[in-house]
Amino acid sequence: MRAFVLALPVAALLVAGCGPGEEKVYRVSGTASYRGQPIPRGTVHFDPLDGGPQGYAEIHHGKFDTAVAGKGVRGGEYGIRLQGFDGKEAQEAPFGTALFNEHHEKRSLPAADSEQQFDPNPPKKK
């Protein structure tokens, strides 16, 4: 009986849910630039168009990785939101001043680890 009483809390934790019921997410990494220059600080959000959990990553010196500071994606159609800042911290502006208005686009992301590149305003070709 004593073993049963001790095992009950452990069983309850297992049933409560870590593991098999969780959905597989994939790593998204890559580069983010503005007018051809690396974005000093920012965020990229991956909003699934069919609902479900959002993915995100922080941008540092033009690079981002959901495995470092963020959350991965399932794959499928996503609305992408990109924010870029100058990286010069100020009071009430931890990432600095915005370089551009929030950029929006749609992309199909694979159900696998992937690399993506973003530049909401690429330099004009001469």
Return the CATH number at 37: 2.60.40.1120
User: Is the residue at 18 inside a domain?
Assistant: no
User: Is the residue at 99 inside a domain?
Assistant: yes
Give the alpha-carbon dihedral of 42, 45, 109, 124, to 10 degrees: -40
CA dihedral over 82, 70, 86, 116, signed as positive or negative: negative
User: Is the residue at 56 inside a domain?
Assistant: yes
Low-confidence ranges of the chain (pLDDT < 50): 2-18
User: Is the residue at 15 inside a domain?
Assistant: no
Q: Tell me which residue range forms the domain holding 73.
A: 24-118
**pLDDT by residue (tens digit) across 48-75?**
999 889 999 999 999 999 999 899 999 9
Q: Tell me how many domains the chain contains.
A: 1
Position 10 scores a pLDDT of 44
Distance CA 126, CA 27 (A): 35
User: Is the residue at 74 inside a domain?
Assistant: yes
User: Is the residue at 85 inside a domain?
Assistant: yes
Full-model pTM: 0.78
Question: Which ranges in 1-126 belong to alpha helices (H)?
Answer: 2-17
Position 31 scores a pLDDT of 98
